[in-house]
Amino acid sequence: MIDDVTSTPRRRIDEIGDESRQRILDASESLFAEQGFDRTSFAEIAKRSGISRGSIPWHFQNKDGLLIAVVERAIDRALVRESSPAPRSLSDIFADYVSWARQSNSALVFMIASEVMTSTGSIRSQYQDFLEQRRKLMQQWVRAHRPEGADEATAEGQERAFAGALSGALLGAHFHALFDTDDDNLAAALRSLGALVDKNIADVWSATTPPELPRP
């Protein structure tokens, strides 16, 4: 009896192509984070990756296509970590972020931000989606700590505002840490912020709750 073959074995040339693509992406990500998109050339990417310069446009068409691929991969890595079940404390969420930042070229987050400020294409929409997904993660945590009896009509807006503030604080601490010589600066800053909010969550909710209007 002949076995029913439902998939075609990968050819060695395909595996080599995937390996070359990943090496180009690794080199590009590092160089973009170190010196920015505009100042990085195909020649530098080729030198660092060990892949011929002519292979880069073959894989990515042009430099914009390469940047899009780098952004997609960076965002995918971040969102895979953030798609896990919401932790019980904000400190846990921040600890996950620190772990991600240490294991990747985290400065790339801000390099991409500088690019999207003047971009209207797919890079901008992808980055906006990345920020929105991060805000939603924060909002899940905020919602889980909504006080009993909160006004349903205004709670969602309050949660969104609170989550936006937390996301902004997270990125701000990250940006500051990039210029600090203390390797533990980001972790220490986020531990302090997470502990502070975890301890005072009820007061923070009160601060984002609109004052009750007097009854007629």
Rounded to an integer, what distance in angstroms lies between the CA atom of residue 57 and that of residue 194? Answer: 44
If 0-12 CB within 10 Å is exposed, 13-18 middle and 19+ buried, where does residue 175 land? Answer: middle
Average pLDDT over residues 168-196: 85
Task: Please give the mean pLDDT across all residues of the chain.
Answer: 78
CB atoms within 10 A of CB 166: 24
Q: DSSP secondary-structure letter at 62? A: S
Residue with tokens 């005072």: 200
| pLDDT tens digits for range 134-175 | 888 888 888 888 877 777 777 788 888 888 888 889 889 888
| 52 C-beta neighbours (distance < 10 Å), count | 11
Q: Is pLDDT larger for residue 111 or for residue 211? A: 111
- d(C-alpha 17, C-alpha 8), whole Å: 17
Fold of 12-60: Arc Repressor Mutant, subunit A (1.10.10)
**What average pLDDT does range 111-135 have in this prediction?**
77
Residue range 80-89, pLDDT digits in tens: 555 555 556 7
| Residue 121, C-beta contacts closer than 8 angstroms, at least 6 positions apart | 64
User: Cα(116)–Cα(156) distance, rounded to whole angstroms?
Assistant: 28
Distance in angstroms (rounded) separating the CA atoms of residues 5 and 65: 35
**pLDDT above 90 (res 46):** yes
* Alpha carbons 137 and 155: distance in angstroms, whole number: 16
**So what's the pLDDT on residue 209?**
56
Nearest CA-CA partner of 198 in 144, 133, 132, 137: 144
Most confident stretch, 51-60, 96-105, 106-115: 51-60
